[in-house]
Amino acid sequence: MRKGAETRERILEIAEASVLAKGFGATSIEEVIAEAGITKSGFFYHFKDKNELARALMLRYVEENDRIFDDVFHRGRQLSDDPLQSFLITLKLLAELMGDLPNGHPGCLIATFTYQERLFDRNVRDIAADAVRSWNGRFRDALNEIATVYPARKGMDLDDVAIMFSCVIDGGIIMSRGLGDPRVLGRQILAFRSVVKMLFAPAAPDIMLPPAPTAIAAE
């Protein structure tokens, strides 16, 4: 039926906001049902216990982010044939998407959950871990594709660079919130974008570029 899905969705929406503001443990079912305008029985009709709420929240979050990444990577590839350029476009789109939210990014559910791991069973944690691995894999694939065209600087493992992007996003969300400045996240994503540019397009003197790869300077 239709109406059931709507109510369920409303519960998830309210619960997610509460979890991101107070944590899962401090999110009370009573508050959620009060805001949703249903009774406790209604809640337990949709979720047999709190852990299933957690599971549903995580699944929903992962799916939505998958969609976002699908979209933004797709648009990046549409707008340029060059793998570096299209990844840079993707990053800029993400910076706009995540950085221009008026009240700041609502938060990463996975980040909250990893800081409350003892509250969830292995199933929920696995969903989160798999999602992170899959997103990191996307970034790494994009970087590897770039590396087939542009030689990457030595000294940086592309797997680590891919993971670093996830770190920058999650860290950027925390910094934005902690410092009370929503713009930080967008700036951080753009800063990572600059790192990618540096990594693949060495800022050598414009005139006499060396054919041979990279330098000894810092090593």
Partner DNA sequence: TGAAAACCATACCGCCGGTACAGTAAATTT
Partner DNA sequence: AAATTTACTGTACCGGCGGTATGGTTTTCA
First to last CA, the chain: 64
Rule CB under 8 A: say whether 161 interacts with a second copy.
yes
CB of 129 to a second copy, least distance (A): 6
Number of residues that bind a second copy (CB under 8 A): 75
- Cβ atoms of 51 and 121 within 8 Å: the answer is yes
CB of 40 to DNA, least distance (A): 6
Residue of 14, 17, 38, 101 that binds DNA (CB under 7 A): 38
Rule CB under 7 A: say whether 30 interacts with DNA.
yes
- Hey, what are 161's tokens? 């660079």
Binding mask 5-24 for DNA (x = CB under 7 A): xxxx----------------
Rule CB under 8 A: say whether 112 interacts with a second copy.
yes
> 47-86: which residues touch DNA (CB under 7 A)?
48-51
Token pair 């800063």 is found at: 191
- Hey, what are 208's tokens? 């006499």
Residue of 27, 36, 54, 182 that binds a second copy (CB under 8 A): 27
d(CA 172, CA 101): 13
Stretch that binds a second copy, among 35-43, 65-73, 93-101, 211-219 (CB under 8 A): 211-219
CB of 23 to a second copy, least distance (A): 4
Residue 105 interface partner, choices DNA, a second copy, none, CB cut-off 5-8 Å depending on type = none
Token pair 């443990």 is found at: 25
Q: In angstroms, how far is CA 42 from the centroid of its own chain? A: 32
Residue of 49, 121, 145, 157 that binds a second copy (CB under 8 A): 157
Under 8 Å CB-to-CB from 198, ≥6 apart: which residues?
153
Could you please report the per-residue DSSP string of 122-170?
Answer: HHHHHHHHHHHHHHHHHHHHHHHHHHHHSPPPTT--HHHHHHHHHHHHH
> 29-68: which residues touch a second copy (CB under 8 A)?
none
The CB density around residue 174, as the number of other CB atoms within 10 Å, is 16
Q: Can you give the binding site for DNA, defined by CB under 7 A?
A: 1-8, 27-31, 37-42, 44-46, 48-51
